[in-house]
Homo-oligomer: A and B are copies of this chain.
């Protein structure tokens, strides 16, 4: 009998995070939310401090041939801003650690920082520090700090049985955009989808409005995929969820292009990541308020599901009426 050592790929990304949470268990009186939410939340005087970090690695998260340094700079900040949006916080300032190859052109670096500054200005945040290093591949790690009112912030763990499940914008565009970027046969790439992948827009205003008006009970940003991120909410909230497939909001470009890459028109919208839309739950009493907020911000918000008891777990109602319990939930880095 051969005993093989366990490797990272056997455990998977979410398995690893669960282990880390277990190993490093933390109890400190100023900690409001630790590992297991979009950002860490710490009490600081009368306010809550929100802290999030995200790493982008060349040839894992992006390829130099697909993107340009300006968009890369914008996206590096946007993915962190989205974590603050998902709690309804106000982003404030950030630090960036950057690993760069020795032979990288100076114009690449200068354009990267121009993109970073563009996103920083747009969302009112400032670069206050960082670290630089040599590296074979480009590595970008941002640590973004935001603020919020203690009682208003939205976490993954607030969903209640009977709540509605909503999502902003449309889903699957970024994942389909990635397929388009990777498709060497395709000369002229559909711009809308590609831009959703390369230039995601964090839903900062929407997040703050949902938190400020106390409309939502739980919230997350859709970075791993609709099914995977719904799973994060229901696991943290100890509830179940039912999603109606035919309600999932799909864009025009998605509908036109999805058949080129998938027989099932919903698969990519269900499990593709990086849309950076907001997924949230709210009491049915809030429905009119939420729809009116959607109109006033001109952001589509769609009622895609409902929260059910924990023992029912996650159910997907297919277009043909069949109910399934999806097994594979989006993307796992290590599998």
Asked whether, in the complex, the Cβ of A135 is within 8 Å of the Cβ of B53, the reply is no
Partner pick for A40 among B51, B98, B128, CB 8 A cutoff: B128
Asked whether, in the complex, the Cβ of A133 is within 8 Å of the Cβ of B31, the reply is no
For A5, the chain B residues whose CB sits under 8 A away are 105-107
Asked whether, in the complex, the Cβ of B126 is within 8 Å of the Cβ of A24, the reply is yes
For A103, the chain B residues whose CB sits under 8 A away are 7-9
For A9, the chain B residues whose CB sits under 8 A away are 102-103
For A101, the chain B residues whose CB sits under 8 A away are 8
Copies in the complex: 2
Asked whether, in the complex, the Cβ of A23 is within 8 Å of the Cβ of B135, the reply is no
Chain B nearest CB, measured from A169 CB (Å): 23
Q: By the criterion of a CB under 8 Å from any partner CB, how many residues of chain A are at the interface?
A: 76
For A104, the chain B residues whose CB sits under 8 A away are 7-8
When A10-B106, A93-B31, A143-B95 are in contact, do A55 and B117 touch as well, CB less than 8 Å? no
Chain B nearest CB, measured from A183 CB (Å): 22
Bound-complex Cα distance A259 to B286 (A): 76
Pick the most buried of A49, A103, A132: most chain B CB atoms within 10 A of its CB: A132
For A99, the chain B residues whose CB sits under 8 A away are 55, 57, 60, 139
For A110, the chain B residues whose CB sits under 8 A away are 19, 23
Query: Is the CB of A236 closer than 8 A to any CB of chain B?
Result: no
For A132, the chain B residues whose CB sits under 8 A away are 13, 16-17, 20, 333
